[in-house]
């Protein structure tokens, strides 16, 4: 397996660079990537420390830096070390500049300006954390989305991802011995989405979870027949209530969240058309 040192330098949070790097690396197999993440690079002194680390762990350098002096220093030093230094947003900015007839604003992290959307995300994250795993049912009506599913069906990580996209998300576990309260079935505002997965996959995930906690992995929690009954019970509940269902067996968190956002948009569009 090939090893790659990947250095990500940003004058802001670096979120954009991380997403670009993740998308690009997904196209290659058998690559072990050691990521070196350097956010908030806004001074020559800071850059100098980073360059020392890069020289000790040479590899690909990706950067989003608007300060011309810092950028020039980075590019010059990388050339001297024989390392590629790539600014992945340059081509996009150049095309936009030509089309719009104006220069880009050289402001670090301008996409993260504290606007209404930023505060919406903060509120969504706070709400979602406070309403994880069935907590705070008296406020579920305030949610944009409520995810329901059996234990380890990716409810929490999907909720957090949706919250980062600005959606207030609660999640509720489905337990055969202790079904949800009537509050869940009387909700009007949130879109309720059922998450399901195959029993085989669920047993594997739960068994790994127990082993990571140093707990005995031979209980009803991982018994295949018991898990299959759980999944069937949840599916019947989703069907009886006509809630949309997403099978997460072969989906990443991002794919599941994207499907849910599509459902939200379709629902909002249908409401506007009425």
First-to-last CA distance in the chain? 56
Rg (CA), the chain: 23
Residue 178 is assigned to a ligand binding site: no
Was 252 annotated as part of a binding site?
no
**Helix H or strand E segment including 208:** helix 199-212
Helices H, strands E: what count in the chain? 10, 8
User: Under a CB-based contact definition with an 8 Å cutoff, are residues 226 and 220 in contact?
Assistant: yes
Per-position b or e across 73-107, b if 16+ CB within 10 A of its CB: bbbebbeeeebebebebeeeeeeeeeeeeeeeeee
Q: Which residues pair with 61 in a beta bridge?
A: 7, 85
Residue with tokens 């005995």: 216
Residue 97 is assigned to a ligand binding site: no
Q: Per the annotation, does 151 bind a ligand?
A: yes
Q: Is 43 annotated as a binding residue?
A: no
Contacts with 32 (C-beta within 8 Å, 6 or more apart), sequence order: 1, 2, 3, 4
The reply to whether 155 sits in an annotated binding site is yes
As annotated, the binding site for ADP includes 149-156
Question: Which residues carry a binding-site annotation?
Answer: 149-156
């Amino acid at each position: 397996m090939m090893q790659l040192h990947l250095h990500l330098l940003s004058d802001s949070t670096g979120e954009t660079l991380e997403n670009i790097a993740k998308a690009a690396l997904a196209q290659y197999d058998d690559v072990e990537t050691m990521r070196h993440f350097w956010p908030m690079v806004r001074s020559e002194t800071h850059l100098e420390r980073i360059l020392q680390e890069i020289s000790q762990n040479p590899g690909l350098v990706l950067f989003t830096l608007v300060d011309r002096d810092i950028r020039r220093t980075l590019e010059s030093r990388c050339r001297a070390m024989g390392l590629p230094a790539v600014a992945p947003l340059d081509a996009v900015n150049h095309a936009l500049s030509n089309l719009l007839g104006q220069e880009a604003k050289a402001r670090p992290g301008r996409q993260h300006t504290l606007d209404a959307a930023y505060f919406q995300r903060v509120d969504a994250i706070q709400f979602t954390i406070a309403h994880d795993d069935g907590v705070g049912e008296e406020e579920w009506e305030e949610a944009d989305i409520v995810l329901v599913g059996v234990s380890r069906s990716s409810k929490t990580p999907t909720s957090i991802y949706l919250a980062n996209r600005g959606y207030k998300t609660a999640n509720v576990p489905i337990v055969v011995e202790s079904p949800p309260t009537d509050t869940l079935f009387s909700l009007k505002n949130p879109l309720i989405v059922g998450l399901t997965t195959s029993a085989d996959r669920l047993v594997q995930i739960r068994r790994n979870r127990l082993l990571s906690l140093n707990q005995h992995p031979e209980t009803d929690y991982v018994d295949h027949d018991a898990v299959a009954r759980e999944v069937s019970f949840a599916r019947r509940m989703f069907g009886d209530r006509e809630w949309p269902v997403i099978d997460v067996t072969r989906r990443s968190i991002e794919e599941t969240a994207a499907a849910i956002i599509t459902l939200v948009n379709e629902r909002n569009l249908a409401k506007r058309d009425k």
